[in-house]
Amino acid sequence: MIHSMTAFSQREIKGTWGTAAWELRSLNQRYLEIQIRLPEQFRSLESAIRERIRLRLTRGKVECNLRFDVNPSVQSTLLLNKKLAKELVEAAQWVKLHSQEGKIDPLAILRWPGVMSVTEPDFNTVSTEFLSKGFDQILDEFINARESEGNTLKTLIEKRLVSVMNELQKIRQQMPRVLVWQHEKLRRKLEEAQIHLDTNRLEQELVMLAQRIDVSEELERLDAHVKETYQILTKKEAVGRRLDFMMQEFHRESNTLASKSINTNVTASAIELKVLIEQMREQIQNIE
């Protein structure tokens, strides 16, 4: 299955503890690069997230972000030590009764060490919930998005492979005419130069000329590259690197073909081949 390296997914999760939003995005990259940004209280999740991504992806620059907003009602809780506060009030009343002075300040009682304390929410349960309900879901969506985009790229590449085969067929149809034209051209040059060759020597020159402009091997290798590319596109594993290699082979043969072009029609087809190969190469840059 062809997967694109370019994709984006976002998922929001809501709970009594607040709201979290996962984001996954990726760009084309020759190897796998993972960047993870998490709130400080969830840094412990990083290794598990990184491993999950590595199990599903092989190429691409992947960015994973988590935004977390705590529900204000559970953000923190004030706890009153009623027993200690009561003892402090009773002690203050006794002092006031015996001294007949001063007054009891409630805020002073509350500021007394140990009377008030603040409890922070426990994020351990929240962390598990994020991981199980949020990240796995967005990772599945992310993989599906890469697969959908990959199918689009696969279709575009296959269309260009069809165009490549059409150009190869045009060149094949032109070659008999090219050979006849070259033979006549050689004969005319010899006659104009008043050079007379015996039949054997003339045949040798014609054979050498035919070998110099023969493109049958290049056409056969390009045919083989087309078939191999079709086969690679049907594989289920990551194929980006193999397709990169095939495009290098396409380029090599098309350059040789272009160097042998001695007919305007063949030259036009050779140029069109190079254009099609470059278009496929650009599309393959985004394939995992």
Single pTM value for the model: 0.70
Cβ–Cβ < 8 Å for 105, 54: no
What is the predicted pLDDT for the residue at 211?
53
What is the predicted pLDDT for the residue at 1?
75
Under DSSP, the state recorded for 164 is H
Task: Return d(Cα 41, Cα 52) in angstroms, integer.
Answer: 20
Q: Give SS3 for 72.
A: helix
Give me the residues of the chain with pLDDT under 70, please.
73-79, 94-102, 104, 110, 115, 117-128, 178-214, 261-262
What is the predicted pLDDT for the residue at 276?
97
What is the predicted pLDDT for the residue at 20?
87
35-91 residue pLDDT tens: 999 988 888 889 989 999 999 999 999 999 999 887 776 655 656 778 877 777 777
Task: Return d(Cα 97, Cα 282) in angstroms, integer.
Answer: 90
Cβ–Cβ < 8 Å for 120, 76: yes
Task: Return d(Cα 217, Cα 209) in angstroms, integer.
Answer: 16
Burial-class residue 77 by CB neighbours within 10 Å (0-12, 13-18, 19+): exposed
Q: Which residue has the tokens 């402009």?
A: 213
257: Cα separation from own chain's centroid? 33
Cβ–Cβ < 8 Å for 62, 33: yes
Q: Which of 241, 235, 234, 247 is nearest to 288 (CA)?
A: 241
What is the predicted pLDDT for the residue at 30?
86
